[in-house]
Amino acid sequence: MKKECAAPFFSIVLPIYNVEKYLNRCIDSILKQGFDDYEIILVDDGSKDSCGQLCDEWSVRNKKIRTIHKENAGLGYARNTGLNAAQGEYILFLDSDDYIRPGMLSKVHNAVCENDVDAVFFGFERIDKNGKSVLQLKPCPEKCLYTDKSEIMNQLLPDFIARNPYTGISRNLRISAWNCCLNREFLIKNELKFVSERDYISEDVYFYIELFACLQKVSIMDDIFYCYCQNEGSLTFSYKKDRYERLKKFYQAVNEKASLLHYDGQVQLRLNESFIASVMGCLKMEVANCKEVGIRESYCRMKNISSDEYLYQAVKGYPLGKYEGTWKFFAWGIVSKQYGLLYIALLLKYITRGV
Protein backbone atom coordinates (compact mmCIF):
# COMPACT_ATOMS: atom_id res chain seq x y z
CA MET A 1 0.00 0.00 0.00
CA LYS A 2 1.60 3.27 -1.12
CA LYS A 3 0.66 6.63 0.25
CA GLU A 4 -0.56 9.10 -2.35
CA CYS A 5 -0.76 12.19 -0.15
CA ALA A 6 0.97 13.90 2.72
CA ALA A 7 -1.57 12.69 5.27
CA PRO A 8 -0.07 10.74 8.19
CA PHE A 9 -0.45 6.99 8.29
CA PHE A 10 -1.83 6.95 11.83
CA SER A 11 -4.13 9.32 13.64
CA ILE A 12 -3.79 8.63 17.35
CA VAL A 13 -6.74 9.99 19.32
CA LEU A 14 -6.48 10.59 23.07
CA PRO A 15 -9.72 11.53 24.87
CA ILE A 16 -8.65 13.44 27.98
CA TYR A 17 -10.47 14.18 31.20
CA ASN A 18 -8.76 14.88 34.54
CA VAL A 19 -5.73 12.66 33.96
CA GLU A 20 -2.97 15.15 34.72
CA LYS A 21 -0.98 12.49 36.63
CA TYR A 22 -0.81 10.18 33.62
CA LEU A 23 -1.10 12.24 30.43
CA ASN A 24 2.61 12.85 29.89
CA ARG A 25 3.35 9.14 30.31
CA CYS A 26 0.85 8.29 27.58
CA ILE A 27 2.15 10.88 25.13
CA ASP A 28 5.77 9.96 25.81
CA SER A 29 5.02 6.32 25.01
CA ILE A 30 3.91 7.43 21.53
CA LEU A 31 6.78 9.82 20.89
CA LYS A 32 9.34 7.14 21.80
CA GLN A 33 7.99 4.62 19.28
CA GLY A 34 10.74 4.99 16.67
CA PHE A 35 8.03 5.39 14.00
CA ASP A 36 7.08 8.93 13.09
CA ASP A 37 4.36 8.80 10.43
CA TYR A 38 1.51 9.82 12.69
CA GLU A 39 -0.43 12.68 14.21
CA ILE A 40 -1.64 12.88 17.80
CA ILE A 41 -5.02 14.45 18.48
CA LEU A 42 -5.58 15.46 22.10
CA VAL A 43 -9.27 15.91 22.86
CA ASP A 44 -9.59 17.82 26.13
CA ASP A 45 -13.11 16.90 27.21
CA GLY A 46 -13.60 19.84 29.55
CA SER A 47 -10.96 18.75 32.08
CA LYS A 48 -11.11 20.53 35.43
CA ASP A 49 -7.46 19.88 36.31
CA SER A 50 -4.36 21.05 34.44
CA CYS A 51 -4.88 18.76 31.42
CA GLY A 52 -6.02 21.60 29.17
CA GLN A 53 -2.82 23.52 29.82
CA LEU A 54 -0.69 20.39 29.38
CA CYS A 55 -2.34 19.72 26.02
CA ASP A 56 -1.61 23.23 24.79
CA GLU A 57 2.00 22.95 25.91
CA TRP A 58 2.42 19.68 24.02
CA SER A 59 0.93 21.21 20.86
CA VAL A 60 3.43 24.07 21.02
CA ARG A 61 6.35 21.71 21.60
CA ASN A 62 5.56 19.17 18.88
CA LYS A 63 4.05 19.87 15.47
CA LYS A 64 2.62 16.34 15.31
CA ILE A 65 0.30 17.12 18.21
CA ARG A 66 -3.01 18.94 17.86
CA THR A 67 -5.30 19.91 20.71
CA ILE A 68 -9.08 20.23 20.66
CA HIS A 69 -10.85 21.73 23.68
CA LYS A 70 -14.53 20.90 24.09
CA GLU A 71 -17.26 20.90 26.69
CA ASN A 72 -17.46 17.72 28.70
CA ALA A 73 -19.68 15.12 27.02
CA GLY A 74 -18.01 11.83 27.88
CA LEU A 75 -15.51 9.36 26.46
CA GLY A 76 -17.52 8.15 23.47
CA TYR A 77 -18.22 11.61 22.12
CA ALA A 78 -14.63 12.69 22.74
CA ARG A 79 -13.49 9.81 20.52
CA ASN A 80 -15.95 10.93 17.85
CA THR A 81 -14.52 14.45 18.01
CA GLY A 82 -11.04 13.06 17.42
CA LEU A 83 -12.27 10.87 14.57
CA ASN A 84 -13.89 13.85 12.87
CA ALA A 85 -10.63 15.80 13.07
CA ALA A 86 -8.36 12.92 12.03
CA GLN A 87 -6.47 12.94 8.73
CA GLY A 88 -4.59 9.64 8.93
CA GLU A 89 -5.24 6.52 6.92
CA TYR A 90 -5.68 4.45 10.07
CA ILE A 91 -6.87 5.48 13.49
CA LEU A 92 -5.92 4.38 17.01
CA PHE A 93 -7.87 5.30 20.14
CA LEU A 94 -5.78 5.38 23.33
CA ASP A 95 -7.08 6.11 26.81
CA SER A 96 -4.90 8.92 28.11
CA ASP A 97 -4.18 7.29 31.48
CA ASP A 98 -2.72 4.21 29.73
CA TYR A 99 0.34 3.77 27.52
CA ILE A 100 1.72 1.60 24.69
CA ARG A 101 4.74 -0.64 24.42
CA PRO A 102 7.79 0.28 22.30
CA GLY A 103 7.65 -0.85 18.69
CA MET A 104 3.87 -0.99 18.51
CA LEU A 105 3.36 1.49 15.68
CA SER A 106 5.90 -0.01 13.29
CA LYS A 107 4.57 -3.55 13.83
CA VAL A 108 0.93 -2.52 13.42
CA HIS A 109 1.91 -0.52 10.32
CA ASN A 110 3.53 -3.63 8.82
CA ALA A 111 0.50 -5.79 9.60
CA VAL A 112 -1.87 -3.28 8.02
CA CYS A 113 0.20 -2.87 4.87
CA GLU A 114 0.75 -6.61 4.44
CA ASN A 115 -2.94 -7.44 4.17
CA ASP A 116 -4.72 -4.11 3.47
CA VAL A 117 -7.31 -4.79 6.17
CA ASP A 118 -10.21 -2.85 7.63
CA ALA A 119 -9.02 -3.55 11.16
CA VAL A 120 -6.12 -4.98 13.14
CA PHE A 121 -6.55 -6.28 16.67
CA PHE A 122 -3.81 -6.97 19.23
CA GLY A 123 -3.29 -7.96 22.86
CA PHE A 124 -2.87 -6.01 26.08
CA GLU A 125 -1.64 -6.30 29.63
CA ARG A 126 -3.25 -4.99 32.79
CA ILE A 127 -1.06 -2.86 35.03
CA ASP A 128 -2.01 -2.35 38.68
CA LYS A 129 -1.75 0.95 40.55
CA ASN A 130 1.78 0.05 41.63
CA GLY A 131 2.95 -0.37 38.04
CA LYS A 132 3.02 -4.18 38.19
CA SER A 133 1.74 -6.30 35.30
CA VAL A 134 -1.05 -8.47 36.74
CA LEU A 135 -2.56 -9.93 33.56
CA GLN A 136 -1.31 -10.46 30.02
CA LEU A 137 -3.72 -11.35 27.24
CA LYS A 138 -1.95 -12.52 24.10
CA PRO A 139 -4.49 -13.27 21.34
CA CYS A 140 -4.63 -16.88 20.18
CA PRO A 141 -7.27 -16.90 17.42
CA GLU A 142 -7.95 -19.83 15.12
CA LYS A 143 -6.18 -17.88 12.36
CA CYS A 144 -4.52 -14.51 11.84
CA LEU A 145 -6.47 -13.28 8.80
CA TYR A 146 -10.24 -13.31 8.30
CA THR A 147 -11.77 -12.44 4.93
CA ASP A 148 -15.22 -14.03 5.11
CA LYS A 149 -17.90 -11.62 6.36
CA SER A 150 -20.11 -14.30 7.91
CA GLU A 151 -17.14 -15.81 9.71
CA ILE A 152 -16.11 -12.39 11.04
CA MET A 153 -19.62 -11.73 12.33
CA ASN A 154 -20.60 -15.07 13.75
CA GLN A 155 -17.34 -16.83 14.66
CA LEU A 156 -14.78 -14.11 15.36
CA LEU A 157 -16.96 -11.57 17.20
CA PRO A 158 -18.30 -14.17 19.68
CA ASP A 159 -14.69 -14.91 20.71
CA PHE A 160 -14.24 -11.20 21.46
CA ILE A 161 -17.36 -11.10 23.61
CA ALA A 162 -16.70 -14.17 25.78
CA ARG A 163 -15.13 -17.62 25.87
CA ASN A 164 -16.82 -20.58 24.20
CA PRO A 165 -19.25 -22.01 26.79
CA TYR A 166 -19.16 -25.51 25.27
CA THR A 167 -15.38 -25.88 25.23
CA GLY A 168 -14.36 -23.38 27.91
CA ILE A 169 -11.72 -22.06 25.49
CA SER A 170 -10.83 -18.37 25.51
CA ARG A 171 -9.03 -16.84 22.53
CA ASN A 172 -7.75 -13.98 24.72
CA LEU A 173 -9.66 -11.47 22.62
CA ARG A 174 -11.38 -8.57 24.35
CA ILE A 175 -13.71 -5.79 23.30
CA SER A 176 -12.20 -2.33 23.60
CA ALA A 177 -11.61 0.74 21.48
CA TRP A 178 -7.91 0.72 22.41
CA ASN A 179 -6.82 -2.77 21.34
CA CYS A 180 -7.41 -2.20 17.65
CA CYS A 181 -6.35 -0.11 14.66
CA LEU A 182 -9.13 0.86 12.23
CA ASN A 183 -9.19 2.14 8.68
CA ARG A 184 -10.51 5.70 8.86
CA GLU A 185 -12.21 5.71 5.46
CA PHE A 186 -13.91 2.44 6.38
CA LEU A 187 -15.31 4.07 9.54
CA ILE A 188 -16.52 7.10 7.59
CA LYS A 189 -18.05 5.03 4.78
CA ASN A 190 -20.02 2.92 7.25
CA GLU A 191 -20.92 5.90 9.46
CA LEU A 192 -19.48 4.20 12.53
CA LYS A 193 -19.43 6.33 15.67
CA PHE A 194 -19.30 5.76 19.41
CA VAL A 195 -22.40 6.11 21.53
CA SER A 196 -22.21 7.83 24.90
CA GLU A 197 -21.23 5.74 27.92
CA ARG A 198 -23.73 7.89 29.80
CA ASP A 199 -26.50 6.28 27.75
CA TYR A 200 -24.93 2.83 27.33
CA ILE A 201 -22.81 1.39 30.14
CA SER A 202 -20.36 -0.15 27.66
CA GLU A 203 -19.98 2.03 24.59
CA ASP A 204 -17.19 -0.25 23.31
CA VAL A 205 -19.44 -3.34 23.15
CA TYR A 206 -22.14 -1.40 21.30
CA PHE A 207 -19.51 -0.07 18.89
CA TYR A 208 -18.17 -3.59 18.21
CA ILE A 209 -21.65 -4.92 17.44
CA GLU A 210 -22.01 -2.28 14.73
CA LEU A 211 -18.36 -2.54 13.62
CA PHE A 212 -18.30 -6.30 13.03
CA ALA A 213 -21.46 -6.13 10.94
CA CYS A 214 -19.45 -4.06 8.43
CA LEU A 215 -15.96 -5.60 8.53
CA GLN A 216 -14.77 -7.42 5.41
CA LYS A 217 -11.11 -8.11 6.21
CA VAL A 218 -9.54 -8.43 9.66
CA SER A 219 -6.06 -9.23 10.97
CA ILE A 220 -5.30 -10.52 14.48
CA MET A 221 -1.80 -10.02 15.88
CA ASP A 222 -0.51 -12.32 18.62
CA ASP A 223 1.37 -9.42 20.22
CA ILE A 224 0.80 -7.48 23.42
CA PHE A 225 1.09 -3.77 22.70
CA TYR A 226 -1.28 -1.94 25.01
CA CYS A 227 -0.83 -1.31 28.75
CA TYR A 228 -4.18 -0.86 30.46
CA CYS A 229 -3.67 0.78 33.83
CA GLN A 230 -5.86 0.36 36.89
CA ASN A 231 -5.34 3.88 38.15
CA GLU A 232 -6.93 5.41 41.22
CA GLY A 233 -10.41 6.70 40.50
CA SER A 234 -10.93 4.48 37.46
CA LEU A 235 -14.60 4.38 36.48
CA THR A 236 -14.37 0.64 35.88
CA PHE A 237 -13.81 -0.01 39.58
CA SER A 238 -16.08 2.68 41.05
CA TYR A 239 -19.24 1.71 42.95
CA LYS A 240 -22.52 2.88 41.43
CA LYS A 241 -25.86 2.14 43.11
CA ASP A 242 -27.74 1.93 39.79
CA ARG A 243 -25.13 -0.22 38.06
CA TYR A 244 -27.27 -3.35 37.77
CA GLU A 245 -30.26 -1.56 36.23
CA ARG A 246 -27.94 0.09 33.72
CA LEU A 247 -26.33 -3.26 32.92
CA LYS A 248 -29.70 -4.88 32.30
CA LYS A 249 -30.89 -2.00 30.14
CA PHE A 250 -27.68 -2.10 28.13
CA TYR A 251 -27.70 -5.85 27.43
CA GLN A 252 -31.35 -5.71 26.42
CA ALA A 253 -30.49 -2.93 23.95
CA VAL A 254 -27.35 -4.58 22.56
CA ASN A 255 -29.15 -7.91 22.06
CA GLU A 256 -31.84 -6.07 20.14
CA LYS A 257 -29.17 -4.37 18.02
CA ALA A 258 -27.49 -7.73 17.29
CA SER A 259 -30.81 -9.15 16.16
CA LEU A 260 -31.46 -6.19 13.84
CA LEU A 261 -28.01 -6.65 12.28
CA HIS A 262 -28.72 -10.36 11.64
CA TYR A 263 -26.08 -11.95 13.85
CA ASP A 264 -26.64 -15.61 14.59
CA GLY A 265 -27.27 -17.15 18.00
CA GLN A 266 -23.61 -17.36 19.02
CA VAL A 267 -23.38 -13.61 19.48
CA GLN A 268 -26.46 -13.50 21.67
CA LEU A 269 -25.20 -16.49 23.65
CA ARG A 270 -21.84 -14.90 24.38
CA LEU A 271 -23.52 -11.59 25.23
CA ASN A 272 -25.43 -13.56 27.83
CA GLU A 273 -22.17 -14.68 29.43
CA SER A 274 -20.84 -11.15 29.34
CA PHE A 275 -23.97 -10.00 31.15
CA ILE A 276 -23.60 -12.70 33.82
CA ALA A 277 -19.93 -11.86 34.34
CA SER A 278 -20.77 -8.17 34.67
CA VAL A 279 -23.45 -8.95 37.24
CA MET A 280 -20.99 -11.04 39.24
CA GLY A 281 -18.73 -8.01 39.37
CA CYS A 282 -21.69 -5.84 40.32
CA LEU A 283 -22.61 -8.13 43.23
CA LYS A 284 -19.01 -8.11 44.47
CA MET A 285 -19.15 -4.31 44.56
CA GLU A 286 -22.44 -4.40 46.47
CA VAL A 287 -20.88 -6.70 49.06
CA ALA A 288 -17.75 -4.56 49.30
CA ASN A 289 -20.00 -1.56 49.89
CA CYS A 290 -20.97 -3.05 53.26
CA LYS A 291 -18.26 -0.93 54.84
CA GLU A 292 -20.22 2.16 53.77
CA VAL A 293 -23.86 1.10 54.26
CA GLY A 294 -23.60 -1.84 56.68
CA ILE A 295 -24.12 -5.57 56.14
CA ARG A 296 -27.93 -5.50 56.38
CA GLU A 297 -28.34 -2.85 53.67
CA SER A 298 -25.59 -4.40 51.57
CA TYR A 299 -27.35 -7.78 51.70
CA CYS A 300 -30.71 -6.28 50.77
CA ARG A 301 -29.21 -4.59 47.73
CA MET A 302 -27.47 -7.79 46.65
CA LYS A 303 -30.66 -9.81 47.12
CA ASN A 304 -32.72 -7.36 45.06
CA ILE A 305 -30.31 -7.80 42.16
CA SER A 306 -29.93 -11.57 42.56
CA SER A 307 -33.70 -12.13 42.55
CA ASP A 308 -34.33 -10.14 39.36
CA GLU A 309 -36.20 -12.25 36.78
CA TYR A 310 -34.04 -11.12 33.86
CA LEU A 311 -30.90 -12.35 35.63
CA TYR A 312 -32.61 -15.56 36.69
CA GLN A 313 -33.52 -16.42 33.09
CA ALA A 314 -30.05 -15.51 31.84
CA VAL A 315 -28.32 -17.77 34.36
CA LYS A 316 -30.80 -20.64 34.12
CA GLY A 317 -30.44 -20.90 30.36
CA TYR A 318 -26.64 -20.70 30.15
CA PRO A 319 -24.43 -23.81 29.65
CA LEU A 320 -21.92 -23.87 32.49
CA GLY A 321 -20.47 -27.37 32.07
CA LYS A 322 -16.94 -26.15 31.24
CA TYR A 323 -16.78 -23.39 33.85
CA GLU A 324 -14.93 -23.24 37.13
CA GLY A 325 -16.54 -23.63 40.53
CA THR A 326 -17.05 -19.90 41.18
CA TRP A 327 -19.36 -19.62 38.19
CA LYS A 328 -21.25 -22.78 39.11
CA PHE A 329 -21.71 -21.66 42.71
CA PHE A 330 -22.95 -18.27 41.54
CA ALA A 331 -25.41 -19.93 39.15
CA TRP A 332 -26.60 -22.30 41.86
CA GLY A 333 -27.15 -19.41 44.26
CA ILE A 334 -29.24 -17.48 41.72
CA VAL A 335 -31.30 -20.39 40.37
CA SER A 336 -31.94 -21.99 43.79
CA LYS A 337 -32.51 -18.56 45.36
CA GLN A 338 -29.95 -19.17 48.09
CA TYR A 339 -29.16 -15.48 48.43
CA GLY A 340 -27.94 -15.68 52.01
CA LEU A 341 -25.31 -18.31 51.22
CA LEU A 342 -24.29 -16.42 48.11
CA TYR A 343 -23.84 -13.25 50.14
CA ILE A 344 -21.77 -15.01 52.81
CA ALA A 345 -19.51 -16.54 50.16
CA LEU A 346 -18.97 -13.17 48.47
CA LEU A 347 -18.40 -11.46 51.82
CA LEU A 348 -15.78 -14.02 52.87
CA LYS A 349 -14.06 -13.63 49.52
CA TYR A 350 -14.04 -9.85 49.94
CA ILE A 351 -12.65 -10.08 53.49
CA THR A 352 -9.86 -12.47 52.48
CA ARG A 353 -9.00 -11.19 48.99
CA GLY A 354 -10.74 -7.87 48.38
CA VAL A 355 -13.03 -7.23 45.39
pLDDT in tens, 210-241: 999 999 999 999 999 999 998 765 545 567 88
Residue 4 has pLDDT above 60, yes or no: no
pLDDT at 253: 95
The whole-number average pLDDT for the span 318-327 is 88
CA distance 266 to 87: 36
| Amino acid identity at 218 | V
Specify the DSSP element, H or E, that contains 349.
Answer: helix 339-353
For the domain spanning 10-235, the CATH number is 3.90.550.10
The whole-number average pLDDT for the span 300-327 is 93
Q: Where are the domains of the chain?
A: 10-235, 239-353
Helix-then-strand count for the chain, H and E: 15, 10
Residue 87 has pLDDT above 90, yes or no: yes
pLDDT at 2: 45
Share of the chain above pLDDT 70, in %: 96
pLDDT at 322: 85
pTM of the predicted model, to two decimals?
A: 0.92
Outline where 182-308 has alpha helix (H). 184-189, 203-212, 243-260, 265-288, 290-293, 295-306
The whole-number average pLDDT for the span 330-342 is 96
CA distances from 157 to 72, 93, 149, 151, 314 (A): 31, 19, 11, 9, 20
Report how far apart the first and last C-alpha atoms of the chain are (Å, whole number).
48
Q: What is the largest CA-CA distance in the chain?
A: 66
Reported as a single tens digit per residue, the pLDDT across 178-193 is: 999 999 999 999 999 9
The whole-number average pLDDT for the span 273-299 is 95
pLDDT at 3: 46
CA-based radius of gyration for the chain = 21
Res. 1 pLDDT band, cuts 50 70 90: very low
Q: What is the mean pLDDT of the chain?
A: 94
